[in-house]
Amino acid sequence: MLAEIARVEGFHFEDTLTGFKWIGSRSSELSKEHGYRHLFAYEEAIGFACGDVIFDKDGISAMAVFSEMAMAMYRDGKTLTQHMQSLYDTYGEFVSYNGYYRMDDMGVVEKIMTRIRSNKTYSIDLSPYEVNYIRDLEGEGYDSSKADTKPTLPPTEMMTFGFTNGCIVQLRPSGTEPKFKFYIEMKGQPGISRAEVLEELNTMAPYVLERLLEPEKNGLKQA
């Protein structure tokens, strides 16, 4: 959602890998070396960096900014829920489908990823859903959205599928636990209800996961 707000409003936005060693260092670099004023950074696992004093996850400054926002809304006769809905009304509804599969055999990770890569052709049929771009960060990496197909993010075992309907599917095996994680988000167009966007996501996500991961065949057990 933050990327879409940036696109519409014209401010700079960047993706990094998860973790504030990546988020904070990139925020600091953009601020000190390129002259950007850092406003906000976050990670999916719940962590926020507000402003340009601390380029790290910091709950105290986040609480202060949130309190200021709440007071501003209440002074205008609005609740925080109403404010959030106004953002959805402007930029579209965003809904998520996140989770993980447990696995008894970590060896299936390489099997799954090798099959998806299909010798770097990424030719698995996901129709009727149309893939817009694929980003694979393994090794030298591959990003079909870039003219030179080179990803800007560092190497890691993560793969991203962007679809023309606004859905983004990210897959990665855990580095510390026998889990295969997935993060799926659907962007709705402004004016489309949250219920409609959620219905499309709840139909699409299980289908795409089945096609990509073949859970039953590979002994994956959804938590």
Write out pLDDT tens, residues 35-67.
999 999 999 888 999 998 889 999 999 999 999
pLDDT at 165: 96
Q: Of 89, 118, 147, which closes a domain? A: 89
- 222 pLDDT tier (thresholds 50, 70, 90): confident
Domain of 210, CATH number, reads: 3.30.310.50
State pLDDT tens for residues 76-108: 999 999 999 999 999 999 999 999 999 998 889
Shared-domain flag, residues 128 and 144:
yes
Q: Does residue 151 contact residue 135 with C-beta atoms inside 8 Å?
A: yes
Give the mean pLDDT of 12-32: 93
Say if residue 112 is in the same domain as residue 204. Answer: yes
Quick one: CA dihedral 173, 41, 95, 79, positive or negative? positive
Q: What pLDDT score does 83 carry?
A: 97
| Residues 76 and 164 occupy one common structural domain | no
Share of the chain above pLDDT 70, in %: 100
| pLDDT confidence band for 223 (50 / 70 / 90) | confident
Q: Are residues 164 and 70 in the same domain?
A: no
Rounded to whole angstroms, how far apart are CA atoms 221 and 156?
24
* Residue where a domain terminates, one of 89, 116, 150: 89
Total domains, the chain: 2
DSSP label at residue 68: H
What's the token pair of residue 109? 């990770």
CA distance 108 to 180: 10
Band (193; pLDDT cuts 50, 70, 90): very high
Residues 84 and 102 grouped into a single domain = no
How far apart are the C-alpha atoms of 92 and 94, rounded to whole Å?
Answer: 7
Q: 33 and 108: one domain?
A: no
Domain end, chosen from 43, 66, 89, is at 89
Q: Are residues 208 and 149 in the same domain?
A: yes
Determine the structural domain holding residue 71 and report its residue range: 2-89
pLDDT of residue 45: 80
The partner residues of 97 in beta bridges, in order of sequence, read: 184
- For the entire predicted model, the pTM comes to 0.90
Q: Give dist(CA 52, CA 182) in Å, integer.
A: 31
Q: Are residues 66 and 16 in the same domain?
A: yes
Instruction: Say if CB 137 and CB 161 are below 8 A apart.
Output: no
* Chain position carrying tokens 């052709």: 121
pLDDT of 18: 87
Whether 19 shows a pLDDT value over 80: the answer reads: yes
Residues 130, 180, single domain; the answer is yes
DSSP state of 219: T
Q: Where are the beta strands (DSSP E) in 44-194?
A: 47-50, 94-103, 131-136, 142-143, 159-163, 167-173, 179-187
Is the domain of 187 the same as that of 165? yes
Please state, rounded to an integer, the average pLDDT across all residues of the chain: 95
Q: Is-contact 21 27, C-beta < 8 A?
A: no
Task: Note whether 19 and 79 are same-domain residues.
Answer: yes
Q: What is the pLDDT of residue 175?
A: 81
What are the tokens at 215? 């859970």
C-beta neighbour count of 211 within 10 angstroms: 14
Do 39 and 128 share a domain, yes or no? no
> Can you tell me the mean pLDDT for 151-168?
95
CB atoms within 10 A of CB 10: 7
Q: Is the pLDDT of residue 11 over 90?
A: yes
